[in-house]
Every structure is written in C-alpha cells, then in structure tokens.
Chain A
Amino acid sequence: MTSHPWPVIGHAWAVLNLDQAATEYRPAHAYLISGPAHIGKTTLARTLAMALNCEADARPCGQCRSCKLIASGKHPDVQLIEPDGAHLKIDQVRALQHDLALSPNEGRFRVAIFNPFEVATTEAQNALLKTLEEPPDYAVLMVVTADPELLLPTIVSRCQLIALRPLTITQVRQALTTTWRIENDRANLLAHLSGGRLGWAVTAASDNSILDTRARRLDDLIVLLKSNRGARFAYAEAITRKEDHARDAIDLWRTWWRDVMLAASGSNAELVNVDRAAQIQSLATHLDVGQASAAAEACGRALWQIDRNAVPRLVVEVLLLDFPHLASI
C-alpha cells in the first residue's frame, strides 16, 4: 500500500500506480479514467492533481494552500472542464490550449480534467487530439468518461487507461460508517443499493428524497404487476414526462427482478434490496426463475434502447407489457 494513503476509497491498484507517478513527478501526459457514474473518477483525478502540486513532503497532504485550492476547485493550474450546456464544446478545448501554452502559475503541473468527456462534440474531440499527442512537459490531461467506447478511438489510443471498477459492498459500508459516520443499518442498506458507487451512497445518505423515490417506485412496481394494460400505459405516460425518471426507475426495477430471480431459484446470494427481503420472497413464490429472469432481461433491453435514443414512452410501454401479470399478490 502507499506510504501516505490518498483520500480515495478503494481503487487500490489505480492509486498505487498514480501515487508512484506522482512521487517521482513522472505522470503520463494523459490518463483516461473510465467507470460507472459516482464511483470516484473525478475524485481520483483531482487527487492526482493534488499529489502533483502539493507543497508538502508526504503528498498529497490535503492541508497546504495548493491542496486546499484544488479541493475547492480554485487552483489556477488545475482546471475542471465540464460541459457547457449539453455538450463539451470546441471553444472550451481551444481555451484550454491557450492556457496550456503558458507555463504553470503556482504549481509544477497544469492539470486539466474533462468530466465527462463523452459529451464532447466530435469537433472538440478532434481539436484535442493534437494536444493529447504532444502536450507540454508540465501538462497532465485527464479524460474522465463512463465508457471509453463512446469516445473517438483516436482519443482512447492516446491516453493511459485507468478503468475503475465498482467498489465492494463491504468497502462502501465501511467508508460510510467510518468516514461519513452513518449508522450501521442505514450504511448497510445504502451500500447494497449503491452497486459499489460510493458517490451515489454518500449523496443518498444526505438526501432523503433519493431513498423515498426508490421506495415509491418499488411500491409502484408491485401495484403495476396487479394492474391491467390501461393502468400500465397510464403509468408509462406519467413516468416519461420528466427526463431520466424512466431510466432511473428501470435501473431500479432491474435490481428488483434480479433479487426476485435469486429468491425464486433458492440461491443464497446477497440481495440488493435488502430492506425488502420479505416482499421479494413472497413475490418469488408466485413466479418461476424463468419469468423473473425474463423481466430482468427486459429491463436491461429497455435501458439499452433508451441509451440509444429510443422514445422513452414506447420503451416503457413495451417493458411494462413484458412484466408478468399477477392478480393475487
């Protein structure tokens, strides 16, 4: 392990690799950090920026002026470049190139973090290629993305890849109880629901509406299973009125069907929705493994379609028709 632990939870091998690069002041010119949302990609990128520019011996110290400015996003040499509106635009890349031509102001390195880069326009991505190819010695570019497949292959091939994986449930639970001081039961539930995304768990811990929405959507699902087509279509119309609502709900339902499938098969694997174990067990008695797994697969298919710009309302309607009809639960 590292001599001075980075304030990053999990991702031990990535931290080890980056810490060594920072200790020797020999970072790669560009990193591509990929992984699901909320697992700590930007935190990792920002921590590398701290380690590279920290003034103390044990870097990053988190205490010096440089570390504090980076943590609050106010360091003159560390830029977080986020989409301007829906996209990350070529003008933003050009502005960065102007800044990168100048040597660093306070620190040793100029660090630019693109978060997330998959929303960059093709022009913006192409404009960055030259910089990625031969940046100045003091520049470190960090491209953050949910999925490298969504970027131009020419971008990916110019970066050192760091693929982050979700944390284990134990890691998330431990982090929640020790670092964020959340009581055990709640931490346990959040850890299971998080799917290894610590950032999500921390947000959900401070924002009750996230768990409330989840509970409501699971209740909705039970009601829907008992409902006829008319009611299901009405629900599809209602939930697709707001962008993202449908996607979130389907994502949640998929975990639910996974749990039901496990319960129906008699497996002992850990459930995601641990707080609803009784409900899941009782539902499992009405279904066989095939039906549950078909429903879970339907959810996966629906997500795939929504991500590829299918009309959400149609997708949800088809999905709800695929769900089994259970009059007596």
Chain B
Amino acid sequence: MRVSCLQENLAKGLSIVSRAVAARSTLPVLGNILIETDQSRLKLAATNLEIGISCWIGARVDEDGGTTVPARTFVDLINALPQGQVDMDLAVKTQTLSVRCGRFANNVKGVDKEEFPIIPKPDEHNAIHIAPDALRQMIDQVVFAAAADESRPILTGVLAKFSGKTLTLAAADGFRLSVRTTALEDGVDEPLEVIIPARALAELGRISGDQVDPISITVTPQRSQILFHLTNIDLVSQLIDGKFPDYTAIIPKATTTKTIVDTGLLLKACKAANVFAREAANIVRVNIVPGDELTPGHITIGATSAETGDNAGDLDASVTGTPIEIAFNVKYLIDVLNVAGANQVSLETSHPSAPGILRAIGDDAFTHVIMPMHIGGR
C-alpha cells in the first residue's frame, strides 16, 4: 500500500472511527484501526464487535493494499504531526507502516488485516432513507430512556419499528418509556422490527452532525446487523436478539388530570428542586391544582431534604381535571424536558401510583411515560 492524504482529513477520520475501537478485548486486533485503500479513497475502520464505524477520506492512491495499526499509537501520532501531506507506505512482509509528514519519519508496527473482523457493506438496493435531522431528533428523544444496566439486555437497546411510511423508536428502562415516530422518505413493504443497542444510536447521533443527504438504513438478511450509510461514513451495529416488551400496554389509555405548562419554566423548577432532591433519592413532589374562573391553575414542584433544606417552585399552568399530588424522579423529568423540543409540554396524570405521560404540545409523535415514586404518609 502506498497512499498520500492530508493530515487534517486523516485526523478527522480517525477521530470518527476511533470511537468504535475496543478499549479492552479478548481479541487484540480490535484495538487496531483498519487502514485500506478503496478505489481512489482511503478507508479507515474500527469495530468493537458491537459497533463498527468506517470512514472514507480523499487520498491519492499509488498502490492498493491495507493493514491494521494500533489505534492509540496511530491516533496520537497523526494528531502530533504538522498540517500538510502525509505519505504512507506499507512494508507487507513486516506489516510496518511508514508514515512521513514533512520532515517527520515514523514507522508504525501493524497487524495483518486478515485478522480484522469483516464489517458488512450496505446493500443500497433495499435501503430505507431518512432525513438526518429527523433521525437525530428521534435519537435525542429516545436513547436516554434505554436501560444502562445489563441485567435485561433487551432494555439496553432501542426498538426500531419500520412500518409503512413511518419509523418508530422506543426505549424503556423499567421506570420510564420514550416513544417517537417519524415519517420515512420512502416506505417499507414489509413491517420490520429490530432492537438496536442504545450506544450505537447515540454514536450515530454524534457522527451524523455534518450530514446533509438522507441517511440510508439497511438490515442484513440474517437480521443480525443494521447499517447506517452516511455520505462518507458507515456505521454498523449488531442487533440485540429477543422480543421487546409490548410498550403500548404501558401507556395509560385515559388520564384524569391534564396540565399544560411552559417547558422552560418547568425545567427551571425541576433543576431548582434537584438541588435538594439529589440528597433525597431524587424525589420531587408535584402538586397540581386546577384553576377556577378567577385564578389560573397551578403546578408546584417541591423537594425536601433532611440535610440540605427544602424548596417549592410554583408555576401557572392550564389544568383540566382533578387536583393531584404525585412524586417523580427529578432526574427523569429533567432528562425528558431537555429533549422535548416544544415550548409547552403537557403532563397527564390520574393517580399518585399510576404512570404519568409527558407530551410535547404541537408534536403528537413524541410520548414519554414516567413511573411515579412512592410517597408514604399521606
């Protein structure tokens, strides 16, 4: 392999793929980055067997070939080089990659690329297309609700349901559920359900920042991997095997109290309550009182900590239904309010021990369900 490219491009490409490098693994080659010529471009790739990221950068290819080099060494080296042209030359026999930039000469010891796991290529034929902004918003609104602990592997994933001309993402961790639907540019013939690791989607959100063209999505025929194809980047994720719980059963069909409140003010009140709630199991009491002909309705967010003190934040709200006092985990409220993306949100509740629904006003496609916390001694 003999190839030349710009240090800036190489450093940028490496910063993208190195997020998929395995930190510790039983397979040493997973700590390496694959560098390979692909027609007239240079392909960089890394995988931790859960997520694989490939990235193509412009390069002048004088001789085809490829190798894998240790990620830490190579990334640190490239970042330390001056801007300008980088010439790389691989000695196949010793798998040593000579990297020259200006008057810097470096030799990096690599490992044969045959040992590197195969990262599947997307099949553009059956691809589903989606606008990058819409997908990113979905990811932001859903991924945070996936479970962090591994005791139920399925809940560490996000359900992706392709059906007709819509895509639905859903994630739940046992205490909250986030569901978001969006329209696809072109529909699917057969409904398709897969469970994608939350980490993979979070990573996709991160690397798709510069993407302008639609992102194309393909699922491999064996249903073992999902591929996201961006302009110069591919992200491949293993799918989680299993059946996602029926989340529709968790969303209450009817509620008795509906509270509409300004998103920003509610978020401020929650953050203030969090100062005390974080010392008290994150519990905030939400007190909702409907208004009458003269006074508007109220929602009060309060927290009490035996050590640090207490507070109450009172907000005007449009309340219909019966008054209620209900407790929530303030972290969950802050998480969802951060991504609600609307000026106003509605909180629908019916009983202190029944789940509450949070929706963005003017956006039917987003639904968030939070389980209440138990408050004794009422």
Write the residues of chain A forming the contact surface with B, with a CB cutoff of 8 angstroms: 65, 69, 74, 76, 79-80, 94, 97-99, 101-106, 136-138
Q: Is the beta-carbon distance between A65 and B239 smaller than 8 angstroms?
A: no
Interface assignment of B94: CB less than 8 Å from any CB of chain A: no
Q: Please state if B241 and A76 are interface contacts (CB–CB under 8 Å).
A: no
- Partner-contacting stretch, out of B53-61, B112-120, B267-275, B303-311: B112-120
Take A79-B26, A103-B225 as given contacts and tell me if A97 and B238 are in contact as well, using a CB distance cutoff of 8 Å. no
The B284-313 residues at the A interface (CB cut-off 8 A) are none
- In the complex, are the beta carbons of A104 and B224 less than 8 A apart? yes
A136 partner residues in chain B, CB cutoff 8 A: 241-242
CA A99 to CA B150, docked complex, whole Å: 11
Contact between A102 and B239 (Cβ–Cβ < 8 Å)?
yes
Picked from B117, B153, B224, the residue with its CB within 8 Å of the CB of A98 is B153
Tell me the minimal C-beta distance from A99 to chain B in angstroms.
Answer: 7
Q: How far is the CA of A74 from the CA of B27 in the complex (A)?
A: 6
CB < 8 Å neighbour of B115 from A69, A105, A106:
A69
Chain B residue nearest in CB terms to A69? B115
Which of chain B's residues have a CB closer than 8 A to the CB of A80? 26
The one of B27, B150, B223 in contact with A76, judged by C-beta atoms closer than 8 angstroms, is B27
Residues of B near any A CB (own CB < 8 A): 26-27, 29-30, 49-50, 114-115, 117-118, 150, 153-154, 156, 197, 222-225, 238-242
B153 CB contact (under 8 Å) in A97, A104, A137: A97
Count of A-B residue pairs with CB < 8 Å: 51
Q: Which residues of B contact A74 (CB under 8 A)?
A: 27, 29, 115
Across the interface, which residues of B come within 8 angstroms of A76, CB to CB?
Answer: 27, 30, 49, 117
Q: How far is the CA of A98 from the CA of B154 in the complex (A)?
A: 10
Given A79-B26, A101-B240, A138-B241, answer yes or no on A106-B154 (Cβ-Cβ < 8 Å). no
CB distance from B132 to the nearest CB of A (A): 25
User: Do B150 and A94 touch (CB < 8 A)?
Assistant: yes
Of chain A, the residue at the smallest CB distance from B150 is A98
B115 partner residues in chain A, CB cutoff 8 A: 69, 74
Q: Once the chains are docked, how many angstroms separate the CA of A65 from the CA of B116?
A: 11
Smallest Cβ distance from B2 to chain A, in angstroms?
A: 26
**Residues on B with beta carbons closer than 8 Å to the beta carbon of A79:** 26
- 7 closest A-B pairs by CB: A101-B153, A103-B224, A102-B238, A76-B117, A136-B241, A76-B49, A103-B241
The residues of B that contact A98 with a CB separation of less than 8 Å are 150, 153
Nearest B-chain residue to A76, judged by Cβ: B117
Residue of A nearest to B194 (CB): A103
* Contacts A74-B115, A76-B27, A101-B240 supplied; 20 other A-B pairs, CB < 8 Å: A65-B114, A69-B115, A74-B29, A76-B49, A76-B117, A94-B150, A97-B153, A99-B49, A101-B154, A101-B241, A102-B49, A103-B222, A103-B224, A103-B239, A105-B117, A105-B118, A136-B241, A136-B242, A137-B241, A138-B241
**By DSSP majority rule, is chain B's interface helix, strand, loop, or mixed?**
loop
State A98–B51 Cα separation when bound (angstroms): 13
Q: How far is the CA of A79 from the CA of B26 in the complex (A)?
A: 8
**Complex A-B: 30 CB contacts under 8 Å:** A65-B114, A74-B29, A76-B27, A76-B30, A76-B117, A94-B150, A97-B150, A97-B153, A99-B49, A101-B153, A101-B154, A101-B240, A101-B242, A102-B49, A102-B197, A102-B238, A102-B241, A103-B222, A103-B238, A103-B239, A103-B241, A104-B224, A105-B49, A105-B117, A105-B224, A105-B238, A106-B118, A136-B241, A136-B242, A137-B241
**Which A residues are CB-close (under 8 A) to B26?**
79-80
* A46 smallest CB distance to B (angstroms): 14
In the complex, the answer to whether B240 meets A102 with C-beta atoms within 8 Å is yes
Q: Considering the chains assembled together, what is the distance between the CA atoms of A98 and B26 in angstroms? A: 14
CA of A94 to CA of B149 in the docked complex: distance in angstroms? 11
Give A137 to B50 CA distance when docked, in angstroms. 18
Contact between A102 and B50, CB atoms less than 8 A apart: yes
Within the complex, the shortest CB–CB distance from B114 to chain A, in Å, comes to 7
Residues of A within 8 A of B154 (CB): 101
Residues from chain A with Cβ under 8 Å of B242 in the complex: 101, 136
Specify which chain B residues have a CB less than 8 angstroms from the CB of A105 in the assembled complex. 49, 117-118, 224, 238
Tell me, rounded to whole Å, the shortest Cβ–Cβ distance linking B236 to chain A: 10
- Write out the residue numbers on chain A whose beta carbons fall within 8 Å of the beta carbon of B118: 105-106
Return the chain B residue nearest A99 by Cβ. B49
A138, chain B: closest CB distance, angstroms: 7
| Distance in Å: Cβ of B250 to nearest Cβ of chain A | 22
Residues of B within 8 A of A103 (CB): 222-225, 238-241
Measured CB to CB, the nearest residue on chain A to B152 is A101
- Cα-based distance from A102 to B50 in the complex (angstroms): 7
What is the CA–CA distance of A97 and B27 in the complex, to the nearest angstrom?
Answer: 17
Kindly state the separation between the CA atoms of A313 and B144 in the bound complex, as whole angstroms.
60
Shortest beta-carbon distance from B345 to chain A in Å: 34
B220 to chain A, nearest CB (A): 9
Question: Given the complex, which residues of B lie within 8 Å of A94, measured CB to CB?
Answer: 150
A69 to B61, CA, bound (A): 30
